[in-house]
Each structure stands twice: as C-alpha cells, then as structure tokens.
Amino acid sequence: MKKVMIGNHAVSWGVLRSRVEVISAYPITPQTQIVEALSDMVADGSLPAQYIKVESEHSAMAACIGASIAGTRTFTATSAQGLALMHEMLHWAAGGRLPVVMANVNRAMAPGWNIWTDQNDSLSQRDTGWIQLYCETNQEVFDTTIQSFKLAEKVNLPVMLVLDAFFLSHTSEPVDVTEQEDVDRFLPRREATFKMDTSDPHAFGALVRPDAYTEMRWHQQEAMREARDVFRQVEDEWEAITGRRYGAVEAYRTEDADLLLVTSGTITSTARTVVDERRAAGEKVGLLKVKMFRPFPTDELRSHLGGVDRVAVLDRNISPGHGGIFAEETRSALYDVPPEDRPILFGYVLGLGGRDVTPGVINDIIDNTRAKNQPEREDLWVGVEL
C-alpha cells in the first residue's frame, strides 16, 4: 500500500506496523506529529497500546524503561532539548540493556532558540550506549522504524532512529507501507530475555561493585559489536520481504573515484544529484552515505575510503573546540589505513540550525577540495558571513 505522508507519520506508521505495546512521550516541535498520530491510533483502537502521558521527556523515557523491563515493546519520540532532558535516562535504558526504540527528529540545540535541523542533539548523546541510525528519505524512515525494533530486541540495546527536521519530518513523500502480515512475519512479538517477574521480584539497576562493573560494560560493548552483524541480517530479511535495503553505509558511484563525499541525513539526496552532474561531466566523484553512527562502521569506512585521494566529510554539526563530528570519527577510523592509501580528509561544517545546503554549496566544496593540497584547518566552515 502506497501512501503519501510526511516523515513524522512514516515513523508513526512504522510504530503501528511494529505492534508497539507501550508509548510514552512528551510533545516537542518538530516531533509532535509522530506521537499525535500515535495517540489517535491508540484512541481509535487501531493500535492496541498503552499511551502514557507524562510531564517531561525525562519521565517519558523513564516510563519506557519501566514498560520495557516489564517485557513490552516500547517506543518514544523526541527532539533537541527534549532529548537533552532525557540524557540521564538514556544511560539507564542502554545500561539496563532495554530494547527501547526512539525516533529523534534532528533539531538544533538552543540557545539561540531554533527549531530547524542540525545533528548536534543526537550526536551529543553519542556515548550513552544507544545505536544511532540516520535516515535520508521517508521510505527509509518507515523501514528503519520497523528494523529498529528487531535490531534492538536481538542485541538488547536501545535504538535511536534519526530524521531531519522539516526536510523529512514535515515533507511529504510517497511511502510504500508494508502490509501488516509481512511485518508480522519479519517482527514477531517481543520475547524478552530478562524481565520483571512480580512473583519473583528483583531490583533492576541495582548496585554493581567494581568487581563486576567492567564486565557489564564489556558485555554492552560486545552487544554493540554484534549489532553490526545483526543489522546486516535484519536488512537481509527485510530486503527478502520488501526488496529494500540501505546498508550501514551506502557507496554511491564510488567506483574509480578519486574524491568521495561523506554525508548523512538529507544532505545525501542533494549530494547524489551533484555527483550525477559531475559524473556526467566526466569527473570521478562519488558519495558515501553513513547511516549507522553507533556502532561506528569503521571497517566499511576503511575499505571504501582507503586508496581514494581526497575525502570531503559534510557535517551538519560541530563539536566545539574540535571539529565536525563525522569528520573526526572518520579521521580516527582512517588512522590505521596504511599511509600510502590514506586519503587527504577535508572536514566541512555547514547547514547548522537548518541553513539550506544547496547543490551550489556542495559544488563549491568539491571545487575547494580539489583546489587545495591540504585543508587549512580541521574544520572548514562553509558559507559563514562574518
């Protein structure tokens, strides 16, 4: 069934198809339509779930954690300041190895107050132990929502799926909504590996002494490592049903390229058209889209970027005092590539607070990357008027 829908509703439909049992959320622009649609679905009975209203995002995640401990499939959605307010609870979900799924609509952090897209909200939660998946289209948003539950429940880690404010959240695109019976085949009811049992009550999140804490973190890290393979299997299964797959990273026209753009989110779509134009002009330019940020797809990046002359990483985010975060992570991944194969990496910071990233901007970046022998600095700011 194909429907035209905004990205936010693609999330809602994905949650509906996933037969989520508990939803707890607090509204925040530009996410609100996700949970609005879900509350409608719960109210009209099409989604037989508990919808728990709360007074803050901190409580929303706390409610999801409790529901997840009880063994249910659990969802929430948020954005920017809301995600920041959840921070403590994000650790509890991940450390508690709970397969909560959350949609985060990328929105710039305040101040200055801003509701437009930018990745600093989700990337600030890098070390909370959540799997992070960045989406490019509404179709990918729908598919990734359903895949997230399967991935999360297989490795017992929470998953944050991420979509750009407005460019996806409020923009309509046709979405092929997979039929319920097909989703049911792909995603059976959650079988919790451990859960609260009121007849044999135990404390969750109890004190762990130094003699065991490190081991628990090791297990968490093992689960992250495992998640890379499990994501591949999840995609295989989804592709068998729907014919669609995205990859932890996607290589677009990278064959024989001497310059690769590295992108995430909706900038990817714009970059694709620029790559097509440059290729048509005979230029060997390609594109690497990074969907999975945690666990970081280090091996894939090394194999795709090793041997390429120049790499331009486009970051709609900034780690103040360092550089664009995808650029820094990529640079770190490439350190182990032999020096002769190691590309020159240009890290561009652009599009913050929802500023438009046009084909012209990306063309300028390609030209600049070709023109210079070395980047002047680790963070190259594009289009800044001072």
For residue 72, the minimal CB distance to other proteins (Å) is 14
* Type of residue found at 206: A
> How near is the Cβ of 47 to other proteins at its closest, in Å?
19
User: DSSP string spanning 317-370?
Assistant: ---TTS--HHHHHHHHHGGGS-GGGPPEEEEEE--GGG----HHHHHHHHHHHH
Window of 8-16, 94-102, 272-280, 297-305 that interacts with other proteins by CB under 8 A = 94-102
Among 97, 107, 228, 291, binds other proteins (CB under 8 A): 97
Residue number, 212 or 371, with CB nearest to other proteins: 212
Q: Cα(89)–Cα(68) distance, rounded to whole angstroms?
A: 13
1, 212, 281, 371: which one contacts other proteins (CB under 8 A)?
212
Nearest CA-CA partner of 286 in 374, 380, 371, 362? 362
**144 Cβ partners below 8 Å, 6+ apart?**
14, 133, 135, 161, 246
Site string for other proteins, 100-139 (x = CB under 8 A): ----------------------------------------
Residue 381 within binding range of other proteins, rule CB under 8 A: no
Residues 6+ apart with CB under 8 A from 271: 261, 263, 287, 314, 362
Segment near other proteins (CB under 8 A); pick from 114-122, 143-151, 176-184, 215-223 = 215-223
* C-alpha distance from residue 381 to each of 102, 310, 313, 318 (Å): 31, 18, 12, 10
**Quick count: other Cβ atoms within 10 Å of Cβ 261?**
30
Residue selected from 218, 233, 363, 377 as contacting other proteins according to rule CB under 8 A: 218
Is 210 an interacting residue with respect to other proteins (CB under 8 A)? no
Binds other proteins by CB under 8 A, chosen from 156, 254, 317, 369:
156
Contact 132, 144 (CB under 8 A): no
Smallest gap from residue 52 Cβ to other proteins (A): 11
Establish if 336 lies at the interface with other proteins (CB under 8 A). Answer: no
CB of 199: closest distance to other proteins in angstroms? 10
Site size toward other proteins (CB under 8 A) is 22
Residues in the chain: 386
374 binding other proteins? (CB under 8 A): no
Min CB(114)–other proteins separation in Å: 34
56 binds other proteins per the rule CB under 8 A: no
Q: Is 24 in the site for other proteins (CB under 8 A)?
A: no
As measured in angstroms, the least distance from the Cβ of 179 to other proteins is: 35
Instruction: Note whether 95 binds other proteins by CB under 8 A.
Output: yes
Strand order in the sheet with 22-25: 50-53, 22-25, 74-78, 101-106, 159-164, 131-134, 292-294
Residue 171 per-residue DSSP state: -
The span from the CA of 90 to the CA of 58, in Å, is 9
Dump the DSSP string for 106-168: E-PPSSSP--S--THHHHTTGGGS-EEEE-SSHHHHHHHHHHHHHHHHHHT--EEEEEETTTT
- Closest CB 307 distance from other proteins, rounded Å: 29
Find tokens 């590539």 and name the residue. 337
Within positions 190 to 209, which residues make up the interface with other proteins, using CB under 8 A? 193-194, 198, 200-208
- Tracing tokens 């495992």 back to the chain, one arrives at 226
Q: How far is the CB of 357 from other proteins (least distance, A)?
A: 41
Our CB check for other proteins shows the closer of 203 and 386 to be 203
Least distance in angstroms from the C-beta of 293 to other proteins: 24
With respect to other proteins, which residue has the nearer C-beta, 214 or 358? 214
| Binding-site ranges for other proteins (CB under 8 A) | 95-97, 156, 193-194, 198, 200-208, 212, 214-216, 218-219
